[in-house]
C-alpha cells in the first residue's frame, strides 16, 4: 500500500477527511507495543474515510501533495478558506505532470461510476434499456460530470465539499439506520404477538420483560472519557498498574497509528471494556447491533467534550486539557442505551403506517400482475385453439387436393355433379372468423365445381 502522505498539521484534508470510520475490533489488545516518540508526528496510513469514493479522494490528495506549490498553499490556508473553495483555485498552478495524472484519476472514477450505474441497473432488471449515463452521473456530486475527461478547479472544490458534508452526516445516518432497525424489531414483535392466543401472548410478554430486565442488569458503566474509564482500560486492557496511570503515556499507547492524534476509530476501541459489561454475544437479551450504537454514542460524547477545534481528532493538547476538568475526575453516571428509547410512540406509529402502505402497494401490484398473467393465459388459450383450427384446415386442403387428383376425375364434365357446399362452408367457418365474410371469388360464391370439371 502507498505511503506517500505528506504531513501538514493544518491541513483540513488530512486532518478531517482522512478519519478512520471502519468497524472497530472488539479487543484493544494487551500486547500493543508502546509507540516510539519519533513516530508521533508520522503521517496517517491506510485510513479509510468510509466514503464510497474514498480511493479517488485519497489518490487525488496524494498527487496534489506531490506538487510543491500546492503543498505550501495547503500549509498556509486555514480550514474555513479551504471549505470556501480558496484552496481549489490553486489547482491552476500545479505542475502539468500532476494535472495529467489527476485527469487520468478522474477518468477512472467516471468509469467506475458508470460501472456502478450499470451494475445497479442489471440488478434491477433494466439491463437492456438504453441508459443516459450523463444524466445518471448527476447523482454523484463529488466530481463535475459535465466534463468527464479533465480534472478542473470545480472537481477539487466539489470533492472537498462533498467529503466534508458526507462525513458530517455519517453519524447522523448511522443513528437513523439504528432507529429504523429498532422500530422494525418492535414491529415484528408486535405482529408476532397478534398471531398468538391469549395464554401464549401472556407468556411471551412475560419472557420479553424478563429479558429486558436481565439486559439492564449489568455492572456500573463508567462515564466515557472519564478518569475511571481510562484507568480501567489502562489496568485491564493494557495490563498496567493503576497507581502508575499517566495521561500522556495513555495517549501514546492508544494512538495506535502513531499520527499524534486519537481518531474516531482509536477512541471507539477504548470503549470495548465498558461495552463488554453490558453485551455478551451469547446472551439472547443482548443485541450486538445495539452495542455498536452504544459505542457510537460514547465516541460522539467524548469528541463533543474533548475535540475543541472540531477537526474530528483529539490532539495530545486537547486530551491533556480534558484530563484537568472536573468531568474527568468526578463524572456523572452514564445513561446507557436501554435507558433511552431511540424512538417515540408517534414515530413508531408513523413507521408502521408507512410499512402498511408499502405492503398495500406491493399487494396491489401483485394483484395487477396476476390479472395480467390471467389475461395472457386466456389469450394463449385462444391462440392455441386458432392454431389447431388452422392445422385442421391445412389437413383438409391436403386431403381435398388428393381427392381432386383421383375420385373427382370420375365426375369431370358431368354437369350434374353436385356443387361443393363443403368447400364453401368449410372455408367460411374455419378460415374466417365469425362475422367475417369470405372474400369474393369462386369459392365464396359458387356452389359449383370450378370451370374445367
Ligand atoms: Ca492516531
Ligand atoms: Ca481536535
Q: pLDDT exceeding 70 applies to what percent of the chain?
A: 77
Question: What pLDDT band is residue 80 in, cutting at 50, 70 and 90?
Answer: confident
205 C-alpha vs ligand 1 centroid, how far in Å? 46
39 contacts: CB under 8 Å, gap ≥ 6: 258
Would you call 87 exposed, middle or buried from its count of C-beta atoms within 10 A (0-12, 13-18, 19+)? buried
pLDDT above 50: residue 203: yes
The pLDDT, as a whole number, for residue 47 is 57
The pLDDT, as a whole number, for residue 403 is 84
Question: What pLDDT band is residue 330 in, cutting at 50, 70 and 90?
Answer: very high
What number is the average pLDDT over the span 299-327?
93
- The larger pLDDT score, comparing residue 259 to residue 442, is at 259
307 C-alpha vs ligand 2 centroid, how far in Å? 4
Which residues have beta carbons under 5 A from ligand 2 (an ion)? 307, 309, 311, 313
- The larger pLDDT score, comparing residue 41 to residue 398, is at 398
145 C-alpha vs ligand 1 centroid, how far in Å? 35
297 C-alpha vs ligand 1 centroid, how far in Å? 20
266 C-alpha vs ligand 2 centroid, how far in Å? 13
- The larger pLDDT score, comparing residue 66 to residue 290, is at 290
Ligand number, closest to the Cα atom of 316: 2
What number is the average pLDDT over the span 35-54?
54
- The larger pLDDT score, comparing residue 144 to residue 442, is at 144
pLDDT above 60: residue 105: yes
The pLDDT, as a whole number, for residue 74 is 82
Most confidently modeled of 154-168, 176-190, 306-320?
A: 176-190
pLDDT above 90: residue 170: no
What number is the average pLDDT over the span 24-45?
36
367 C-alpha vs ligand 2 centroid, how far in Å? 57
The pLDDT, as a whole number, for residue 167 is 80
256 C-alpha vs ligand 1 centroid, how far in Å? 6
322 C-alpha vs ligand 1 centroid, how far in Å? 17
Question: What's the chain look like in SS3?
Answer: CCCCCCCCCCCHHHHHHCCCCCCCCCCCCCCCCCCCHHHCCCCCCCCCCCCCCHHHHHHHHHHHHHCHHHHHHHHHCCHHHHHHCHHHHHHHHCCHHHHHHHHHHHHHHHHHHHHHHHHHHHHCCCCCCCCCHHHHHCCCCCCCCCCCCCCCHHHHHHHHHHHHHHHHHHHHHHHHHHHHHHHHHHHHHHHHHHCCCHHHHHHHHHHHHHHHHHHHCCCCCCCCCCHHHHHHHHHHHCCCCHHHCCHHHHHHHHCCCCCCEECHHHHHHCCHHHHHHHCCCCCCCCCHHHHHHHHHHHHHHHHHHHCCCCCCCEEHHHHHHHCCCHHHHCCCCCCCHHHCCCCCHHHHHHHHHHHHHHHHHHHHHHHHHHHHHHHHHHHHHHHHHHHHHHHHHHHHHHHHHHHHHCHHHHHCCCCCCCCCHHHHHHHHHHCCCCCCCCCCCHHHHCCCCCCCC
Q: Which of 66-75, 118-127, 192-201, 297-306 has the lowest mean pLDDT?
A: 118-127
Ligand number, closest to the Cα atom of 47: 1
137 C-alpha vs ligand 1 centroid, how far in Å? 35
300 C-alpha vs ligand 2 centroid, how far in Å? 13
270 C-alpha vs ligand 1 centroid, how far in Å? 12
201 C-alpha vs ligand 2 centroid, how far in Å? 52
pLDDT above 80: residue 414: no
What number is the average pLDDT over the span 259-265?
92
The pLDDT, as a whole number, for residue 29 is 36
Question: What pLDDT band is residue 166 in, cutting at 50, 70 and 90?
Answer: confident
111 C-alpha vs ligand 2 centroid, how far in Å? 36
pLDDT above 60: residue 435: no
The pLDDT, as a whole number, for residue 387 is 94
The pLDDT, as a whole number, for residue 257 is 92
- The larger pLDDT score, comparing residue 28 to residue 194, is at 194
The pLDDT, as a whole number, for residue 197 is 96
pLDDT above 50: residue 327: yes
The pLDDT, as a whole number, for residue 409 is 53
Q: Which grid coordinates belong to 344?
A: 417515540
Q: How far apart are CA 52 and CA 58, in angstroms?
A: 12
17 C-alpha vs ligand 2 centroid, how far in Å? 13
The pLDDT, as a whole number, for residue 101 is 94
DSSP H or E run through 322: helix 316-322
90 C-alpha vs ligand 2 centroid, how far in Å? 26
Ligand number, closest to the Cα atom of 305: 2
Q: Which of 22-26, 282-286, 338-342 has the lowest mean pLDDT?
A: 22-26
The pLDDT, as a whole number, for residue 131 is 64
Ligand number, closest to the Cα atom of 43: 1
Ligand number, closest to the Cα atom of 16: 2
pLDDT above 80: residue 326: yes
Q: Which of 15-24, 205-214, 347-356 has the lowest mean pLDDT?
A: 15-24
359 C-alpha vs ligand 1 centroid, how far in Å? 47
Ligand number, closest to the Cα atom of 260: 1
Q: pLDDT exceeding 90 applies to what percent of the chain?
A: 56
262 C-alpha vs ligand 2 centroid, how far in Å? 9
pLDDT in tens, 6-22: 333 333 444 444 433 33
The pLDDT, as a whole number, for residue 309 is 86
Handedness of CA 336, 299, 265, 39 (dihedral sign): negative
pLDDT above 70: residue 421: no
pLDDT above 80: residue 369: yes
The pLDDT, as a whole number, for residue 411 is 52
What number is the average pLDDT over the span 198-209?
97
What number is the average pLDDT over the span 73-84?
78
pLDDT in tens, 386-413: 999 999 999 999 999 888 776 555 455 5
13 C-alpha vs ligand 1 centroid, how far in Å? 15
Amino acid at each position: 500500500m502507498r505511503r506517500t502522505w505528506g504531513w501538514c498539521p493544518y491541513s483540513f484534508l488530512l486532518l478531517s477527511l482522512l478519519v478512520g470510520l471502519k468497524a472497530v475490533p472488539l479487543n484493544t489488545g494487551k500486547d500493543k507495543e508502546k509507540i516510539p516518540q519519533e513516530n508521533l508526528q508520522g503521517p496517517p496510513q491506510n485510513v479509510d474515510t468510509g466514503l464510497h469514493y474514498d480511493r479517488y479522494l485519497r489518490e487525488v490528495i496524494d498527487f496534489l501533495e506531490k506538487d510543491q506549490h500546492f503543498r505550501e498553499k495547503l500549509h498556509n490556508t486555514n480550514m474555513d478558506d479551504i471549505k470556501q473553495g480558496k484552496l481549489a483555485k490553486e489547482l491552476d498552478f500545479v505542475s502539468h505532470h500532476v494535472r495529467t495524472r489527476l485527469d487520468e484519476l478522474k477518468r477512472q472514477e467516471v468509469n467506475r461510476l458508470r460501472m456502478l450505474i450499470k451494475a445497479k441497473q442489471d440488478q434491477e432488471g433494466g439491463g437492456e434499456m438504453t441508459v443516459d449515463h450523463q444524466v445518471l452521473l448527476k447523482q454523484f456530486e463529488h466530481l463535475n460530470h459535465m466534463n468527464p475527461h479533465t480534472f478542473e478547479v470545480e472537481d477539487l472544490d466539489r470533492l472537498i465539499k462533498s467529503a466534508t458534508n458526507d462525513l458530517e452526516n455519517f453519524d447522523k445516518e448511522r443513528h437513523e439506520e439504528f432507529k429504523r432497525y429498532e422500530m422494525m424489531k418492535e414491529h415484528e414483535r408486535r405482529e408476532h404477538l397478534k398471531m398468538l392466543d391469549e395464554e401464549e401472548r401472556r407468556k411471551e410478554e412475560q419472557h420479553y420483560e424478563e429479558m429486558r430486565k436481565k439486559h439492564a442488569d449489568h455492572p456500573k458503566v463508567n462515564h466515557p472519557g472519564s478518569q475511571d474509564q481510562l484507568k480501567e482500560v489502562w489496568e485491564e486492557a493494557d495490563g498496567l498498574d493503576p497507581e502508575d496511570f499517566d495521561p500522556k503515556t495513555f495517549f501514546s499507547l492508544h494512538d495506535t497509528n502513531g499520527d499524534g492524534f486519537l481518531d474516531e476509530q482509536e477512541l471507539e476501541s477504548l470503549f470495548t471494556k465498558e461495552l463488554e459489561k453490558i453485551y455478551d454475544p451469547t446472551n439472547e437479551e443482548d443485541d450486538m447491533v445495539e452495542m455498536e450504537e452504544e459505542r457510537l454514542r460514547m465516541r460522539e460524547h467524548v469528541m463533543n467534550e474533548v475535540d475543541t477545534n472540531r477537526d474530528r481528532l483529539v490532539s495530545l493538547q486537547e486530551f491533556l486539557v480534558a484530563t484537568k476538568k472536573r468531568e474527568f475526575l468526578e463524572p456523572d453516571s452514564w445513561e446507557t442505551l436501554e435507558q433511552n428509547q431511540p424512538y417515540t410512540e408517534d414515530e413508531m406509529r408513523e413507521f408502521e403506517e408507512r410499512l402498511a402502505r408499502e405492503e398495500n402497494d406491493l399487494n396491489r401490484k401483485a394483484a395487477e400482475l396476476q390479472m395480467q398473467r390471467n389475461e395472457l393465459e386466456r389469450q394463449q388459450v385462444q391462440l392455441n385453439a386458432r392454431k389447431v383450427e388452422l392445422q385442421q384446415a391445412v389437413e383438409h386442403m391436403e386431403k381435398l387436393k388428393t381427392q381432386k387428383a383421383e375420385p373427382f376425375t370420375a365426375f369431370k364434365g358431368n354437369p350434374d355433379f353436385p356443387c361443393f357446399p363443403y368447400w364453401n362452408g368449410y372455408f367460411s367457418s374455419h378460415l374466417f372468423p365469425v362475422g367475417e365474410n369470405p372474400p369474393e371469388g369462386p369459392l365464396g360464391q359458387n356452389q359449383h365445381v370450378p370451370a374445367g370439371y
